[in-house]
C-alpha cells in the first residue's frame, strides 16, 4: 500500500493550528520542574497553570511538550458523533471491527485489536508471548517499555526483563543481544528467553528510526533461537514516512506490533495491537483481564479510522518543522546549543545546551516565561512549552497542532531568550 493513500491534506486543513489565548502568562516555576535525574524522561507531566501574575495581555502558546497533547479536529469529531456502535466485548461494534481490519491490512498482519492505551498494548503483547510466569524478555535499557511503563511486565505478568545497551540510533549490538539469550531450558537456575522487544521510532533517543537492516537481523536472530519479536511501534508511522515505505515493509520483520493512534495521528484515545490470529485471540482474553474490554467503543474507533486512513501522510510536516527548529538552534547567536542534525529524523528533537551556566530546566523556564521586554521586542508574548530531558538535554515534539507559523514563532522566542541570556550574563560579570 502506498503512503500516498494515507495522506489527506484536505482533512489536515480542518485542524486548528491556532495558539491558545491566555489572559496571563505561565510562570517558569509552574511550567517546568528541575531536571535532577539522569534517567528522567520529562520532569513535569502536569499541565502548566496560569498563576495570576502580571505580564503580557495576549500570550501565544506553542506546546512542544509531547505529541500526546493533540486534539481531534472538526472532521474527526463529526466522525465520532456519527459512528455506528455496538458492544465490542461481544465483538458487535462495527466501527471497531472495521478499524481492526484496516489496521491488520495496513500492517501486513493477520489480525488486530483495539486497545485503550500503548502501555496496555505492550503489556498484553508480553503476556501473550511469555505465557509462563518467570519467562524472560530482552529489551533495550532505554526503551519506553522497560523504563516508563511501571514495570508492568514484572508487576502484573510475572515476566523478567534483561536489558541490552540502547545505541544512539535506538538499535542494539547484535552480539550483545545474542549473548543475552538463555540456553539449556529447563535448567532450574534461569528464566526462559521468549521475546525480543524493539522500539520504533525510539522515544528517548530522539525519535530515531530503526534501520530496516537491523530489524531484519534481529528477526533472523530470533528465528534462529525460537524467540518472538515485538515492536513497540507507538510512532512507527513516523518511521514509515521517514523511510518512505508502507508500515508493512517495516513490520514484516516483527511478529507483533503496538501502534498508537493518539500521538501524531491525532486520535483522542487508542492503540492498535496486531499480529497472528492466534496471538490476537489470546490478546482479547488478556485485554479483558486488564480492564480494557470496552463496550460501545466505536465512538473512539471512528477517530482511529480517520487517523490511519487520513493522517499518516501529514506526519511529514511535523518532521520538516522539527528540522527547521533544529537548524535554528544551530544558527543561534550566541552558539548555545548542540544538535546532531543527522539524528533529527522525525518529530522528536533532543538538543543539548553548551553553556554550563544555563541548565535545561532554566532554559525551559525562560522559554515559558513572558515579560515586558519580550512583548516590546516581539510585539506579543510567546510561550514555548518543552521539557528538560535526561543527560543535560531538552526534548521538543512536533505534532498536528503545531504549524510552520507556530514553529517560526518558537524560533523567534528562542532567539529572544538567547539574546537576553547573553545580556544577563554580561551584566553579571
Q: What is the pLDDT of residues 380-420, one digit of tens each?
A: 899 999 999 978 899 999 999 999 999 999 999 999 999 98
Clarify whether residues 19 and 96 are in a common domain: no
**Could you tell me which residue, 157 or 377, shows the higher pLDDT?**
157
* Structure-block grid coordinates of residue 324: 527547521
Higher-confidence position of 362 and 20: 362
Phi-psi region of 54 (alpha: psi -120 to 50; beta: other; left: phi over 0): beta
Distance CA 429, CA 427 (A): 6
Q: Which of 73, 50, 43 is nearest to 381 (CA)?
A: 50
Is the pLDDT at 374 greater than 90? The verdict is no
Q: How far apart are CA 247 and CA 140, in angstroms?
A: 22
- Asked whether residue 304 falls in the same domain as residue 325, the answer is no
Condensed to tens digits (0 to 9), the pLDDT of residues 248-279 reads 999 999 999 999 999 999 999 999 999 999 99
Residues above pLDDT 70, as percent of the chain = 87
Spatial distance between the Cα atoms of 100 and 280, rounded to a whole number of angstroms: 11
More confident residue, 37 or 74: 74
Structural domain range at position 156 = 74-310
Q: By mean pLDDT, which of 57-71, 78-92, 263-277, 397-411 is the weakest?
A: 57-71
Of the three residues 284, 310, 336, the one that is the final residue of a domain is 310
Shared-domain flag, residues 64 and 123? no
Asked whether residue 39 falls in the same domain as residue 14, the answer is yes
pLDDT at 146: 97
The overall average pLDDT reported for the chain is 88
Q: Specify whether 290 is located in the same domain as 273.
A: yes
Q: What is the CATH number of the domain that holds 8?
A: 3.90.1150.10
- Are 172 and 287 in a shared domain? yes
* Position with higher pLDDT, 31 vs 292: 292
Show which of 245, 278, 310 is a domain's final residue: 310
Over residues 75-103, the mean pLDDT reads 97
Would you state the pLDDT for residue 321?
A: 98
Residues 334 and 304 occupy one common structural domain: no
Stronger pLDDT, 256 or 30, i.e. the higher one: 256
* Helix axes of 236-243 and 315-331: crossing angle, nearest 10 degrees: 80
Task: Determine which of 50-64, 143-157, 289-303 has the lowest per-residue pLDDT on average.
Answer: 50-64
Structural contact between residues 69 and 63, judged by C-beta atoms closer than 8 angstroms: yes
CA distances from 275 to 64, 109, 213, 223, 422 (A): 33, 5, 21, 16, 54
Tell whether the model's pLDDT for residue 315 goes beyond 60.
yes
Give the residue, 41 or 98, on which the prediction is more confident.
Answer: 98
Report in angstroms the alpha-carbon separations of 72 from 13, 61, 173, 268: 12, 18, 40, 6
pLDDT-derived band at 6 (thresholds 50, 70, 90) equals very low
Q: What are phi and psi of 130, to 5 degrees?
A: -110, 90
Check pLDDT > 80 for residue 299.
Answer: yes
Distance CA 381, CA 401 (A): 19
The count of structural domains within the chain is: 2
The domain boundary, picked from 257, 275, 310, lies at 310
Does residue 84 sit in the same domain as residue 229? yes
The band of 57, judged by pLDDT with boundaries at 50, 70 and 90, is low
Establish how many alpha carbons lie within 13 A of residue 310's alpha carbon, considering only the half-sphere containing its beta carbon. Answer: 23
198 and 294 share a domain? yes
* Per-residue three-class SS string for 227-288: CEEEEECCCHHHHHHHHCCCHHHHHCCCCEEEEECCCCCCCCCCEEEEECHHHHHHHHHHHH
| Mean pLDDT of the 140-148 span | 96
Lowest model confidence (mean pLDDT) among 49-63, 204-218, 351-365: 49-63
Co-location of 346 and 394 in the same domain: yes
Establish whether the linkage from the previous residue to 136 is cis, with ω within 30° of 0.
no
Q: What is the CATH number of the domain that holds 121?
A: 3.40.640.10
Residues 106 and 241 in one domain: yes
- Asked whether residue 21 carries a pLDDT value surpassing 70, the answer given is no
- Whole-model pTM? 0.87
Same domain, 227 and 102: yes
Could you tell me which of 199, 193, 166, 195 has the C-alpha nearest to residue 181? 193
pLDDT at residue 11 in the model: 29
Record the cell numbers describing residue 322, joined without a space: 522539527
Going along 58-155, which residue ranges are E strands? 59-63, 111-115, 135-140
Amino acid at each position: 500500500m502506498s503512503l500516498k493513500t494515507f495522506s489527506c491534506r484536505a482533512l489536515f486543513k480542518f485542524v486548528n493550528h491556532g495558539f491558545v489565548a491566555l489572559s496571563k502568562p505561565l510562570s517558569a516555576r509552574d511550567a517546568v520542574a528541575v531536571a535532577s535525574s539522569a534517567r528522567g524522561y520529562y520532569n513535569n507531566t502536569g499541565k502548566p497553570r496560569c498563576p495570576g501574575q502580571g505580564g503580557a495581555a495576549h500570550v501565544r502558546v506553542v506546546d512542544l511538550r509531547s505529541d500526546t497533547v493533540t486534539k481531534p479536529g472538526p472532521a474527526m469529531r463529526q466522525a465520532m458523533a456519527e459512528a455506528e456502535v455496538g458492544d465490542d466485548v461481544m465483538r458487535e461494534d462495527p466501527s471497531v471491527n472495521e478499524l481492526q481490519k484496516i489496521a491488520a491490512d495496513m500492517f501486513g498482519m493477520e489480525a488486530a485489536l483495539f486497545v485503550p492505551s500503548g502501555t496496555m498494548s505492550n503489556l498484553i503483547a508480553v503476556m501473550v508471548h511469555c505465557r509462563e510466569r518467570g519467562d524472560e524478555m530482552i529489551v533495550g535499557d532505554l526503551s519506553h517499555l522497560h523504563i516508563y511503563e511501571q514495570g508492568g511486565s514484572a508487576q502484573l505478568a510475572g515476566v523478567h526483563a534483561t536489558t541490552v545497551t540502547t545505541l544512539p540510533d535506538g538499535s542494539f549490538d547484535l552480539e550483545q543481544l545474542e549473548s543475552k539469550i538463555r540456553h539449556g531450558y529447563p535448567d532450574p537456575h534461569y528464566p526462559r528467553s521468549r521475546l525480543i522487544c524493539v522500539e520504533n521510532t525510539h522515544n528517548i533517543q530522539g525519535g530515531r528510526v530503526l534501520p530496516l537492516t537491523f530489524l531484519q537481523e534481529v528477526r533472523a536472530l530470533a528465528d534462529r533461537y525460537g524467540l518472538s519479536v515485538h515492536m513497540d511501534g507507538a510512532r512507527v508511522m513516523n518511521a514509515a514516512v521517514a523511510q518512505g515505505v508502507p508500515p508493512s515493509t517495516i513490520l514484516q520483520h516483527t511478529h507483533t506490533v503496538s501502534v498508537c493512534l493518539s500521538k501524531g495521528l491525532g486520535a483522542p484515545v487508542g492503540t492498535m495491537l496486531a499480529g497472528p490470529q492466534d496471538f490476537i485471540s489470546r490478546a482479547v482474553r488478556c485485554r479483558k483481564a486488564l480492564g480494557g474490554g470496552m463496550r460501545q467503543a466505536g465512538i473512539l474507533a471512528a477517530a482511529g479510522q480517520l487517523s490511519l486512513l487520513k493522517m499518516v501522510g501529514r506526519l511529514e510536516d511535523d518532521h520538516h518543522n522539527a528540522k527547521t527548529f533544529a537548524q535554528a538552534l544551530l544558527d543561534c547567536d550566541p552558539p548555545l546549543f548542540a544538535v546532531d542534525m543527522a539524528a533529527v529524523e522525525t518529530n522528536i528533537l533532543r538538543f543539548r545546551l553548551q553553556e554550563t551556566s544555563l541548565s535545561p530546566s532554566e532554559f525551559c523556564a525562560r522559554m515559558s516565561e513572558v515579560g515586558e521586554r519580550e512583548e516590546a521586542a516581539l510585539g506579543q508574548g510567546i510561550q514555548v512549552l518543552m521539557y528538560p530531558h535526561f543527560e543535560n538535554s531538552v526534548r521538543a515534539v512536533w505534532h498536528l497542532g503545531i504549524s510552520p507559523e507556530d514553529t517560526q514563532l518558537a524560533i523567534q522566542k528562542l532567539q529572544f531568550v538567547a539574546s537576553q541570556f547573553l545580556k544577563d550574563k554580561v551584566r553579571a560579570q
